[in-house]
């Protein structure tokens, strides 16, 4: 009997059960890897957003300190040394200042902390430091006096 009259060729009967199961296993592994990637990227995006908020809190605090005359900077730091809660969006930050000893240049450091499950011990921290001159007059650079 010629080929078209016999019906379907047994080789074209479709996929076997083993082929279907192997393809489902491969698709499952690929989807698991992709979903893990997306979940992790969402966690990292949330952490980076919170870190950006901490940078904003620290930058605002530094600008407040820089607006104070240098001779009054240490007393300003002493007045603002206590922990202060600062809300930014849905995240709450705690801002603290280190109070350095009085010298010609004081190193003012602001610490911003917040809680997140993405950080070690569920506590994240960002710090920023600047040098403040406590002199009443601004230093002047004179190239003629340089060796």
Q: What is the pLDDT of residue 8?
A: 63
Mean pLDDT over all residues of the chain?
87
Residues 125-138 have a mean pLDDT of 87
Q: What is the pLDDT of residue 147?
A: 65
43 found inside a domain:
yes
Helix (H) or strand (E) holding 36: helix 17-66
23 found inside a domain:
yes
Give me Rg for the CA atoms of the chain.
Answer: 32
Q: How confident is the model at residue 26 (pLDDT cuts 50, 70, 90)?
A: very high
3 found inside a domain:
no
Residues 84-98 have a mean pLDDT of 93
Among 38-47, 75-84, 125-134, 135-144, where is mean pLDDT lowest? 135-144
10 found inside a domain:
no
Give 104 or 112, the one with higher predicted confidence.
112
94 found inside a domain:
yes
Q: What is the pLDDT of residue 4?
A: 56
Cα–Cα dist 77/97, whole Å: 7
Q: How many domains does the chain have?
A: 1
Q: Which domain holds residue 124?
A: 15-139
20 found inside a domain:
yes
* Secondary structure (3-state) at 41: helix
DSSP output for 58-122: HHHHHHHHHTS-GGGHHHHHHHT-S-EEEEETTEEEEEEEE-PPP-SEEEEEEEEEEE-TTSGGG
pLDDT > 80? residue 70: yes
Residues 58-85 have a mean pLDDT of 92
Cα–Cα dist 112/97, whole Å: 9
Q: What is the pLDDT of residue 6?
A: 59
Residues 25-33 have a mean pLDDT of 93
CA distances to 70, 108, 134, 139, 145 from 142, in Å: 21, 27, 20, 10, 6
54 found inside a domain:
yes
133 found inside a domain:
yes
């Amino acid at each position: 009997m010629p080929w078209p009259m016999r019906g379907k060729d047994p080789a074209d009967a479709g996929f076997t059960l083993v082929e279907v199961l192997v393809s489902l296993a491969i698709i499952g592994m690929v989807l698991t890897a992709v979903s893990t990637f997306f979940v992790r990227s969402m966690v990292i995006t949330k952490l980076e957003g919170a870190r950006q908020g901490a940078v904003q809190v620290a930058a605002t605090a530094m600008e407040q300190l820089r607006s104070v005359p240098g001779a009054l900077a240490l007393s300003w730091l002493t007045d603002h040394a206590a922990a202060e809660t600062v809300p930014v969006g849905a995240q709450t930050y705690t801002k603290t200042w280190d109070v350095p000893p009085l010298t010609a240049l004081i190193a003012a450091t602001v610490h911003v902390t917040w809680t997140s499950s993405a950080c070690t011990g569920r506590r994240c921290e960002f710090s920023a430091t600047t040098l403040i001159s406590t002199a009443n007059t601004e230093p002047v650079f004179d190239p003629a006096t340089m060796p």
